[in-house]
Amino acid sequence: MKIDMGGSAAVLGSAKALGQIKPPGVEVHFIVASCENMISGTGMRPGDILTASNGKTIEVNNTDAEGRLTLADALVYACNQGVEKIVDLATLTGACIVALGPSIAGVFTPSDELAKEVFEASEISGEKFWRMPLEESYWESMKSGVADMVNTGGRPGGAITAALFLKQFVDEKVKWMHIDLAGPVWNEKKRVATGFGVSTLVEWVLKNSS
């Protein structure tokens, strides 16, 4: 779990930094969708169906893809706060590590404007990102016969289908970006967390401040 909570760690790290900087003219909400991950008698089982906070139903076909279930509700909650832009960070898929290796995070967004903002911030931070496609045809593998969707789709393309899953919980009026940083949040050689994502998020918020 030292690696799996890397997205939440980046959010908390950014919150601490921006709380100290106090950039003017910008309101930032930091949301961490944390929950217990221990096995119990009330834990989800393959085949169970849950209802997200926006009413959409999800068939759990893979209990190892649990993080996106809490992240989905966090995205709904964020949209309900009346925000204009959302950047979510998560160590969501091993597939993204296969695609981009240990040093580059995958970026998924339908907004060219938001992509431009974040990539400009990453040029200052020095952190490496690569924009990936939101290939809508892959959504076919995410359809369920008993619910609105399953929580994992076919492979290859697992990082893309994960992003498409999250997209179902974002208001179309909100500019949204998903960053899959499963690779760069952890330095395997040194066995330490890297803090990846914090510098870019801070730079991005500063660019949006007055």
pLDDT attached to residue 36: 80
Mean pLDDT for 44-57 is 93
Q: How far is CA 194 from the centre of its chain?
A: 17
Instruction: Indicate the DSSP class of residue 178.
Output: E
| Residue whose C-alpha is closest to residue 180's, from 109, 81, 83 | 109
Mean pLDDT for 92-103 is 96
Q: What's the pLDDT band for 76 if we cut at 50, 70, 90?
A: very high
101 with 195: CB under 8 angstroms?
Answer: no
Q: What's the pLDDT band for 46 if we cut at 50, 70, 90?
A: confident
First to last CA, the chain: 37
The values of phi and psi at residue 106, to 5°, are -90, 140
CA distances (Å), 133 to each of 1, 53, 95, in order?
28, 27, 14
pLDDT attached to residue 43: 81
Strand extents, DSSP E, the chain: 49-51, 57-59, 85-90, 104-108, 128-131, 149-150, 175-180, 186-187, 192-193
Give dist(CA 161, CA 155) in Å, integer: 9
| Range in 104-118, 149-163, 189-203 the model is least confident about | 149-163
Q: What's the pLDDT band for 1 if we cut at 50, 70, 90?
A: low
Assigned fold of 6-21+50-208: Aminopeptidase (3.40.630)
Mean pLDDT for 22-32 is 97
pLDDT attached to residue 139: 95
Give dist(CA 60, CA 83) in Å, integer: 29
Does the structure show a pLDDT above 70 at 47?
yes
Q: What percent of the chain has pLDDT over 70?
A: 99
pLDDT digits (tens, 9 = 90+) for 110-120: 999 999 999 99
Enumerate the domain spans of the chain: 6-21+50-208
